Amino acid sequence: MPHDLLKDRVALITGAGQGLGAAVAREFAAEGASVALVEINPTTVSAVEAEIRSKGGRAQAYPLDITDHAAYRQAIEQVVARWGRLDILVNNAAIAFYATILDDTLENWRKQIAVNLESVYMGSKMAAPIMVRQGGGRIISITSVQGFVSSGMCGAYNAAKGGIIALTKSMAVELAPYNILVNAVAPGFMLTPMSIVDGVDETQSPDFLDWYVAKRKIPLARTGYPEDDAGAVVFLASEYCRYMTGQVLVVDGGLTSTF
Ligand SMILES: NC(=O)c1ccc[n+]([C@@H]2O[C@H](COP(=O)([O-])OP(=O)(O)OC[C@H]3O[C@@H](n4cnc5c(N)ncnc54)[C@H](O)[C@@H]3O)[C@@H](O)[C@H]2O)c1
């Protein structure tokens, strides 16, 4: 159902090798954008690049670790050299380790803050001046319902996601004079490789199916799929979104609307 919503736009998506990042890349390309695919895993990202190109889309893979700021900066420069501009940044890549405050380690905390939060700051810091020069742009970051509420076991992840919400609001205020809109999307449960913990798909476990689906703790009674959230990202990147900044779109099937 593409409508050329992002015709002639250039977008950079982090974590584009699988899950939500790959879904956003596919939707953006189908809507006419050229997509720069930043991803630490060279194998998955080249498969997404090939898939988009095989459908006539414009995609270029940039296999790198977003905590390597020099490599990330170089990729952004290459995107601008290749396509002449950068209109949309999607800060999506993240990692999750599970531990309580009693058994977590400072090393895990630092790693998650570096990948999940500092990269949002650095990516935005590097992309924003380009958007200022162009006269506008969009920065869209993927947070989580865990930025507002917690299931426990992931304090560093939650702190990073809460930090993204605060940073989104701060950047929205600072960049509004330059016509740069800054928003976030907060998925609830989403069926992606991240939801497979120790080989078990948490969205298919008996407990999940009983509590969240049969008992409708998720009022829409199913897990989310990457495409459900990708649609919200397309909206925020498109001209249908033009008077909204500093906001968080919650895409959780109603999960955080009930208790
Ligand atoms: N899956 C869920 O249930 C869920 C729920 C809420 C929010 N989210 C958020 O949605 C976003 C996408 O998650 P997903 O479920 O698609 O995860 P995923 O693990 O399937 O995909 C994340 C991608 O990011 C890449 N990546 C990780 N570290 C990187 C690094 N240092 N440099 C470059 N790339 C890196 C991974 O290789 C992977 O391809 C994340 O921000 C996540 O926190 C996911």
User: In the predicted model, is pLDDT for residue 3 greater than 90?
Assistant: no
Range of the domain at 201: 196-223
Side-chain-side CA neighbours of 179 within 13 Å: the count stands at 10
What confidence tens digit (pLDDT) does each residue in 115-134 have?
A: 999 999 999 999 999 999 99
What confidence tens digit (pLDDT) does each residue in 83-122 have?
A: 999 999 999 999 999 999 999 999 999 999 999 999 999 9
**Distance of CA 160 from the midpoint of ligand 1 (Å):** 13
Whose C-alpha lies nearest to ligand 1, atom 19? 194
**Distance of CA 226 from the midpoint of ligand 1 (Å):** 11
Handedness of CA 208, 209, 210, 211 (dihedral sign): positive
What confidence tens digit (pLDDT) does each residue in 164-223 have?
A: 999 999 999 999 999 999 999 999 999 999 888 888 898 999 999 999 999 999 999 999
Are β-strands 196-197 and 200-201 bridged in parallel, bridged antiparallel, or unpaired? antiparallel
Number of domains in the chain: 2
Q: Are residues 157 and 180 in the same domain?
A: yes
How much is the pTM? 0.98
Q: Which residues line ligand 1 (CB under 6 A)?
A: 14-15, 17-21, 39-41, 44, 65-67, 92-95, 115, 142, 144, 187, 189-190, 192-195
Q: Are residues 116 and 229 in the same domain?
A: yes
4 domain-assigned? no
Whose C-alpha lies nearest to ligand 1, atom 12? 20
Label residue 2 by pLDDT band (50, 70, 90).
confident
pLDDT score recorded for residue 197: 86
Q: Are residues 202 and 237 in the same domain?
A: no
